[in-house]
Copies of this chain bind each other. A is one copy, B any other.
Amino acid sequence: MNKTILLNNRPNGKPQESDFKFTNEDTPEVTSGEVLLKTRYVSVDPYMRGRMSDADSYVEPFQLQKPINSGIIAEVIESKNDSFSKGDFVSGMLDWKEYQTNNGNELLKVDADKAPLSAYLGILGMTGLTAYFGLTKIGNPQKGETIVVSGAAGAVGTIVGQIGKILSCRVVGIAGTDEKGEMLKSKFGFDAAINYNTTEDMTKAIADAAPNGVDVYYDNVGGTISDSVHANINRFGRIVVCGAISLYNSTSIPTGPRVEPFLIKKSVLMQGFIIGNYADKFPEGMDKLSQWLKAEKLNFSETIVEGFDNIPNAFLDLFEGKNKGKMIVKV
């Protein structure tokens, strides 16, 4: 018995449980050069919504009736590959299966003694690197500048805000509950937090929280929240376009105020990116994040859901904002 989760339908709008299908396969045989992996931690991430559609994108869409894949930490339980031993932990883009074989070519060994295993899906994985490169290479914040982060209580947002503080900036977070806002300030050192669900005039609230205007906007959400940040952007401002979770489930083309007038008026940069663009600089990013983590300058937050069967629901909960920090399923 080897539980596997397939893509059953391409969602129209918000994904649902019925878009996923559970099947049972036989546990695979390990052939020469391969390892047998047992899934331990599964990352669920907003960008995966894009892969559920059949649209032209920067990553291949998931195939209908085939296993979904994502970032996974697995344990090597049998090895016929000289590079890996039984008991090793590895990280990689792997299928949503309890057990699978792999040739090891794209697996990375991770050290359970240096950090909790789940951290390699978050702060020491793609999430941390996304925060680090987007903020430093595109946002390029200077000492004393003001950074606003949307989706601030999410996996990337909490790290962006902390790096902003390490770089001596004022950091304002936008999140969806007062509890998240409190966490941003107490646990992650944000200077201010705004609850977009209870704030009537977001443009004014951002102006109040960023009295010198917004120099860097690290955007994880898009939509009307971003409109109110754009209204407060400073001359020569930089907008890091990392994600647009508020738009991903839209069934029509999302519309909003055109950006060209303020881009010209304020000489503003907007730059979209995916983390793969920085692949040749990953070692630099990992070094920085590990140093800061070791020096206790970085805190991290995880929402850990238990059980293989709960993977689809953990993914669906992302779109309800139910996670604080990185959403991970422990198998």
Contact = CB atoms under 8 A, between A and B. Distances in A.
Interface of A: 50, 56-58, 219, 222-223, 226, 235, 241-244, 247, 253-274, 277
Q: Which of A57, A226, A241 has the most CB of B within 10 A?
A: A241
B264 A244 contact: yes
Contact of A259 (B57, B242, B270): B270
A269 B223 CA distance: 18
Contact of A254 (B243, B258, B270): B258
B258 A242 contact: no
A270 B238 CA distance: 10
Given A223-B258, A243-B264, 16 more contacts: A50-B265, A57-B265, A58-B265, A222-B258, A222-B260, A222-B261, A247-B258, A254-B257, A254-B258, A256-B258, A262-B272, A264-B273, A266-B272, A267-B272, A267-B274, A269-B272
Consensus secondary structure, chain A interface = mixed
Nearest to A259: B259
A220 to B, nearest CB: 10
Contact of A242 (B57, B256, B264, B273): B264
Contacts of A257: 253-255
A151 to B, nearest CB: 12
A139 to B, nearest CB: 13
Contact of A58 (B223, B235, B247): B235
A274 B264 contact: yes
Contacts of A244: 258, 260-261, 264
20 contacts: A58-B235, A219-B260, A222-B258, A226-B260, A241-B264, A244-B260, A244-B261, A247-B261, A253-B257, A254-B258, A255-B256, A255-B258, A263-B271, A264-B273, A264-B274, A265-B272, A268-B271, A268-B272, A269-B272, A270-B271
A128 B70 CA distance: 50
A57 B265 CA distance: 6
Q: Which of A226, A258, A259, A273 has the most CB of B within 10 A?
A: A258
Q: Which of A226, A257, A261, A274 has the most CB of B within 10 A?
A: A261
Contacts of A259: 259, 270
A131 to B, nearest CB: 15
Contacts of A254: 257-258, 261
Contacts of A269: 269-272
A224 to B, nearest CB: 10
Nearest to A263: B272
